[in-house]
Amino acid sequence: MWMGGCPPLGYDPDGRKLKLNETEAELVRHIFQRFLKLKSVPALAKELKAEGRVSKLRIATTGNVLGGMPFDSGALYHLLKNPTYLGMVPHKDKFYPSTHPPIVDQATFDEVQAQRATRAVRKRIRRKGLAEPASVLLSLKGRLFDCEGTAMTPSHAYGQKGRAHRYYISSSVNRGRTTKRPDGIYRLPALPAERWVIETLHRLTPDHDPLEVLVRMEVHEGAVHLALKASALADDERNVPLAIDRIRRLLLDGERVHPGDDLVWVHIPRRLKFRGGRAWLSGEAPKRNRMSQPLVKAVKWAHQLLDANADANHVLQQAPPTVHERGLIRLAWLAPDLQMAMLEGRQKPGLCLEDLRFARIPLCWDDQRLMLAG
């Protein structure tokens, strides 16, 4: 018996039962077979998107059209482990035999689960012995949003030496979205962002716990908007205006406060950004320019690529094999003084590898100096 809710891809609701949607069922079988061939959910999601295959389209009781979007990895993981496709129905975290027809056979389903388990074991083995991510100073989960109002979720990655790095990433990027605002910020290093929030809230609300005060934080292109809970700023509702006046007196140049009914918004003209390989808060540049190891390695690698792919006159005989290497090799043709500055840590303050990888670098050395010199 089907207990209601959103029917899975391949089925349509028919009262208290599920009936087969043969067109969608064929897509489900295709997904299972392609996963066994590709052995990678992200690769499968990419292939399905290229083929124009989308999720189940349905119309809500309100008339809103839902679904019909490219599959993301999360949706595919859920689909591949769903026993409904074996003719089962869920009830209280358990599955029971039902009357609807299965879409995949038991052997195929078991093979997919074994492949998923194999990948999970390999992932655990790769991470065994690696450092744990740094502890959370102030959890921004559920509070942090990008410039488009999309939630930013916590994640972490491991560097070459096994060091764990925590960061927040926009959910839209996690789902594979490729269209972004040119200056939008969709990733943030966790520790510097949390430290900045704590310092800012301690400055504006020194007598209150940041976790109790902060409701929402929006990271825009050139500013950060903090939404503070009005009732948490004072013990008595009648004292909220006095608390807002205290905040207003503690504001720095350019900062503004906008009181509302339940929230007090604080506008801070500060750009938070993750700068290739390290955290950097715009407006808070380091007192001295430090050597950037990613830049140093990139310049050296560019010359290694040039030696391997060019003749004695530094004319390329063949392009490097990967897109990443084709972007890096351009650094070998930068003005010599610019390359030396990067190797010695005298580059333009704030300059990072990501800026160079995607920048339109002019061919003329004088133009390069105007663009990149400190």
Among 269, 173, 166, which Cα is nearest to 224's? 269
Given the DSSP bridges, would you call strands 11-14 and 17-20 parallel, antiparallel or unpaired? antiparallel
Among 158, 179, 162, which Cα is nearest to 170's? 179
Residues 174 and 249 placed together within one structural domain of the fold: yes
Whole-angstrom CA distances from 8 to 78, 80, 288, 324 are 10, 11, 57, 39
Q: Left (φ > 0), alpha (ψ -120 to 50) or beta: where does 243 sit?
A: alpha
Among 212, 206, 42, which Cα is nearest to 119's? 42
Which residue ranges of the chain lie beneath pLDDT 70? 1-4, 92, 119-135, 159-162, 176-178, 273-291, 314, 358, 374
For residue 137, is it within any domain? no
Among 201, 217, 56, which Cα is nearest to 150's? 217
For residue 100, is it within any domain? yes
Residues 249 and 291 placed together within one structural domain of the fold: no
Number of domains in the chain: 3
* Cα(71)–Cα(267) distance, integer angstroms: 37
pLDDT value, residue 287:
41
For residue 138, is it within any domain? no
Question: What separation, in Å, do the N-terminal and C-terminal C-alpha atoms of the chain show?
Answer: 70
Whole-angstrom CA distances from 159 to 21, 124, 139, 152, 358 are 46, 16, 22, 21, 22
pLDDT value, residue 277:
38
For residue 43, is it within any domain? yes
Q: How many CB atoms lie within 10 A of CB 130?
A: 13
Q: How many CB atoms lie within 10 A of CB 134?
A: 14
Which residues span the domain enclosing 365? 286-372
Residues 80 and 156 placed together within one structural domain of the fold: no
For residue 217, is it within any domain? yes
pLDDT value, residue 289:
52
pLDDT value, residue 178:
63
Residues 297 and 212 placed together within one structural domain of the fold: no
pLDDT value, residue 119:
63
For residue 4, is it within any domain? no
Among 195, 250, 206, 255, which Cα is nearest to 226's? 255
CATH at residue 42? 3.90.1750.20
pLDDT value, residue 129:
53
Residues 35 and 151 placed together within one structural domain of the fold: no
Residues 151 and 266 placed together within one structural domain of the fold: yes
* Cα(331)–Cα(259) distance, integer angstroms: 50
Residues 148 and 195 placed together within one structural domain of the fold: yes
Residues 105 and 164 placed together within one structural domain of the fold: no
All residues at 6 or more sequence positions from 111 whose CB lies less than 8 Å from its CB, including other chains: 36
pLDDT value, residue 216:
94
CATH at residue 156? 3.30.980
pLDDT value, residue 28:
95
Whole-angstrom CA distances from 51 to 31, 47, 48, 191, 271 are 12, 6, 5, 40, 38
What digits encode the pLDDT tens for the residues 264-290?
A: 999 999 887 655 434 445 544 334 456
Residue that finishes a domain, picked among 127, 153, 185? 127
For residue 245, is it within any domain? yes
Residue that finishes a domain, picked among 273, 299, 330? 273
Residues 99 and 151 placed together within one structural domain of the fold: no
* Cα(173)–Cα(179) distance, integer angstroms: 9
Residues 302 and 347 placed together within one structural domain of the fold: yes
**Sheet containing 263-268, strands listed edge to edge, beginning at the edge strand earlier in sequence:** 144-145, 214-219, 224-229, 263-268, 256-259
What digits encode the pLDDT tens for the residues 338-357?
A: 888 888 878 877 777 777 77
pLDDT value, residue 161:
66
Residues 165 and 56 placed together within one structural domain of the fold: no
